[in-house]
Amino acid sequence: MVKLKELPKRIGSNPTLLILDDVWPGSETLLEKFTFHMPNFKILVTTRTAFTRFSSYELKPLDAKDAKTLFRHSTLQDGSSCIPDDIPDEYIDKMLKGCGGFPLALEVIGGSFRGLSAEVQLSRLRKWSIDDVISNLDLHKCLQRSLEFSGPEVKFKKFFMDLGSFPEDRRTYAAAFIDMWAELYNLGEDGVDASATLQQLNIRHLASLVMTKKDGSEFSRYYNEDFVTQHDLLRELAISESKQEPIEKMQRLIMDIRENALPLWYTEQNQQPTNARLISISTDKLFTSSWCNIQAPNVEVLVLNFQSKIYSLPEFVEKMDKLKAVIITNYDFFPAELINFQLLKSLSNLKRIRLERVSIPSLFKAPLWLRSLKKLSLFMCSFGLAFGNSTMKVKDALPNLMEINIDYCNDLVELPAWLCDVILLEKLSITNCHHLSALPKEIKMLENLIVLRLRSCTELSELPDSIKCLQKLRFLDISDCLGIRNLPKDIGELRNLEELHMKGYLNLRNGLPQSTEKLKQLKLVICDDEERAKLWEPFKEVLTNLEVRKVEKEISLSWL
């Protein structure tokens, strides 16, 4: 990362335009730090409040013609507008006038018409055309109208309000919503329902969803790289909708703590118990205060967002007896140390833990007993020497763990042998861990393993011969494992293997082992190269149910 004082040297004499987007009011002093006296250097700042120290240009709202164009575009469904041609223009024009030319309002309102019958659309437009509120150019009220769900879609309002649990304009990975909604609404363990919900919110422009390409099979569904972002005004709307009831009756409690300013309700309500099932707490880099004592006996999902190198969990977490899922996200550049992670050990109902940008060694400073934990997800975490001296007895500490996801953990070099004592483990996914060099031979102990995903572990040199003992394995992904040159000679012993992914720059020097012909249950092989597809030609007469599907190479920079 380039330091600010080094920026002029890096730029040199090259013509440069620096864009600072959505700068908050009161940031004039920050902007002055970027005013280098250099030729061919300009700064463009977008903000909602004019800064008097700098020259500015006020962007005007869209005129009637452009507003209608954007609105029509926002209603596109299968290539054409979902608004019937026979709906009178006068209703649409009045509604557009109520949007005040604000692009965000036009997009969100337009998206709200998708999937509605012509009768419902006409009824809604008639109502809005005579409503005084929408004609007052109140952007918040205008956006609020987009939440008028009807019929089966009423449920999407609660999903929209849950989006407010995460910071605006930050990436929130779909896997976090899967964990949240699986416990709050029983929305399914495989993520299909949660992903479909996010897609619906995206269609209505209530969130922006970026999805990685899927191959469409049952096992290939993996949502740890799909992510959602949300406009800050929409997040404010989500939080506002969540606050319609008194604090003690709210189903979700969302707290944004800036510096050390605790929310007014905390000081005014004398720490009254809340009935919330979801609690989200976000703090910034300047937060140094001690935690308030929230009484939340019914909370099932806890979301903690922070920016810090050292982070202390709230002490009241220890009393959340019904807590089922914990999602902890560090938005700083470097992994943070959790200094009291052991508070979770007494939570008998905790099933899911998701950690992002966290230092794993800090979790093993004391014995950790999570007997109900079923799913552990580690994203961009730092492992260091976490497993070097660990004497964890997994059978006692994590007896019910069924799924482990490790993604983008760059310093993970070797999996510990004790991980293979997680006897009930069904899914093990390790992706984009580029320094992982070996799997333990004890992996054969994972006798219940169904899914093994090792995608983009570029330094992984081989699969251990003991992998042949995984008799329940049905899905194996070794795509972009550049170091693998040969498959185990007894890979054919994986009698229940149904799907194999070998996309990317996978160079098998000696082709496929002869034992491959024993993979009678193999139905699908995914590759993206003609050379690898040809490796399967000699086996097609024996593997009569096999489909070798060649897909296009995926080139995406969305993760940057």
Which one has a higher pLDDT value, 331 or 345?
Answer: 331
- pLDDT tens-digit map of 12-63: 777 888 888 888 777 777 777 777 777 788 888 888 777 777 788 888 889 9
Residue 519 buriedness (CB in 10 A; 0-12 / 13-18 / 19+) = buried
Output the CA torsion sign for 281, 159, 137, 52: positive
Query: What is the per-residue pLDDT for 215?
Result: 63
- pLDDT tier, 320 (very low <50, low <70, confident <90, very high otherwise): very high
Output the CA torsion sign for 130, 132, 133, 139: positive
Q: Please state, in angstroms and rounded to a whole number, the distance separating the CA atoms of residues 435 and 443.
A: 19
The yes or no reply on domain 433-560 and CATH 3.80.10.10 is: yes
Q: CB–CB of 326/354 below 8 Å?
A: yes
Which one has a higher pLDDT value, 215 or 353?
Answer: 353
Q: CB–CB of 303/279 below 8 Å?
A: yes
Q: CB–CB of 550/529 below 8 Å?
A: yes
- pLDDT tier, 122 (very low <50, low <70, confident <90, very high otherwise): confident
Q: Report phi then psi at 529, rounded to 5.
A: -145, 140
Helices (H) and strands (E) in the chain, counts: 14, 22
3-state class of 123 per DSSP?
Answer: helix
Q: Which residues contact 560 (CB under 8 A, 6 or more apart)?
A: none
- pLDDT tens-digit map of 153-193: 888 999 999 999 999 889 999 999 999 999 999 988 888 89
The two three-digit tokens of residue 428, written as one number: 């093990």
Query: What is the per-residue pLDDT for 511?
Result: 86
Which of 85-94, 282-291, 343-352 has the highest average model confidence (pLDDT)? Answer: 343-352
Model confidence, pTM: 0.89
- pLDDT tier, 134 (very low <50, low <70, confident <90, very high otherwise): very low
- pLDDT tens-digit map of 283-296: 988 888 778 788 88
Q: Please state, in angstroms and rounded to a whole number, the distance separating the CA atoms of residues 510 and 513.
A: 8
Summary mean pLDDT of the chain: 86
Q: Report phi then psi at 390, rounded to 5.
A: -75, 135
- pLDDT tier, 258 (very low <50, low <70, confident <90, very high otherwise): confident
- pLDDT tens-digit map of 355-382: 999 998 767 666 678 899 999 999 999 9
The two three-digit tokens of residue 5, written as one number: 């004082």
Domain extents in the chain: 4-47, 71-148, 164-229, 433-560
Q: Which long-range contacts (CB under 8 A, 24 or more apart) does 22-27 make?
A: 22/46, 22/47, 22/48, 22/169, 22/232, 23/47, 25/49, 27/51
Q: Please state, in angstroms and rounded to a whole number, the distance separating the CA atoms of residues 470 and 450.
A: 8
> How do strand 475-477 and strand 451-453 relate by DSSP bridges?
parallel
Query: What is the per-residue pLDDT for 391?
Result: 61
Q: CB–CB of 351/379 below 8 Å?
A: no
Query: How long, in residues, is the chain?
Result: 560
3-state class of 548 per DSSP?
Answer: strand
Identify residue 312 by its one-letter amino acid code.
Answer: S
- pLDDT tier, 556 (very low <50, low <70, confident <90, very high otherwise): low
